[in-house]
Amino acid sequence: RFFSWLEREVVKNGRTDIDETTIDEVLISEFRGKQEGFLEPSFPTIAGCNAHGAIIHYRATEQTALPVTRNDMLLLDSGAQFDCGTTDVTRTVYLGEEPDEVGEDGDAEARKLRAKFEHYRNCYTRVLQGHIALSDVVFPTGTPGFLLDTLARTPLWRRGLDYRHGTGHGVGAGLMVHEGPHGVSPKAYNTTPLEVGMIVSNEPGYYEDNAFGIRIENLVWIQEASTEYRFGGKDFLGFAPLTMVPLCRVLIDVDALSKEEIKWIDAYHETVRESVGSRLAGDDEALAWLNKNTEALLL
């Protein structure tokens, strides 16, 4: 519902009076705070527009808040404590349609907008590929998180890019939103094995100083994986998504994805649609937004 509202107000209606603090206030007071079982935010909302999105733990104030307008990039990291557990989710969205391609003799501003968008999409897709690689991994019991961290970074590394934070942290149920001892990061000294039933975040990103930031975060829970063999008598594990929020379709470069990656996105979006759709009964606008943003890429 929140993203449907945001797209309507900023992209369709062209409002210019919404800023980063408005995002936080509306998200909590008008949407998340009205959900059944809501207790309180699980941490201060990070709503970073354009250059502020590159500040990993940015928090908007009345003095620093940027307006959120059409053709902007918005990184939104938020969560809540509910009577059934704790949430933490990040989505990065482009607030507009894909700009038209413009020839060399075309309008300079239009060419600049198109070039910026293509860079956003290229970076977003690399972050998404890392997110998928970690989401889809199967690993033996006893594996610590640092052995999986490179999966999320490899698509970025291939372009000479990276990010300066861990890829995943543990989450407590109604407790700390960052709760160890397990995690996924380059820190090789954390040898805590990932075990069945643990919840961990999957949140690769990319941050370009003074320009924009991208992060895609789902919470996942660790479960037993179905494998043909059990080498050495070991069980094998994998991740199942708990977070049900569509990805930003306009920022996905489908041509850069493998068939397996496209299938993963389509399967995830189908799960999101089935899980969330029934909760939007009576809200035709939000349901239409959900259906549009979870349409299959592979037709």
d(CA 244, CA 46): 19
Output the pLDDT for position 106. 74
Instruction: Specify the range with the lowest mean pLDDT, choosing from 38-52, 104-118, 256-270.
Output: 104-118
For residue 103, pLDDT over 80 is answered with no
- Mean predicted confidence (pLDDT) in 145-173: 97
DSSP conformation class of 111: H
d(CA 224, CA 208): 37
Buried b (16+ CB within 10 A) or exposed e, 82-107: beebbbbbbbbbbbbeebeebeeeee
**Residues of the chain with pLDDT > 70: what percent?**
100
- Mean predicted confidence (pLDDT) in 33-55: 97
> 195 or 109: which carries more pLDDT confidence?
195
Round to the nearest angstrom and report the end-to-end CA distance of the chain.
Answer: 26
Q: Are 276 and 290 a contacting pair, CB within 8 Å?
A: yes
Output the pLDDT for position 18. 98
d(CA 209, CA 119): 14
Q: Are 98 and 117 a contacting pair, CB within 8 Å?
A: yes
Cβ neighbours around 282 below 10 Å, total: 6
pTM attached to this predicted model: 0.96
Ranges of H-type helices in 84-137? 108-135
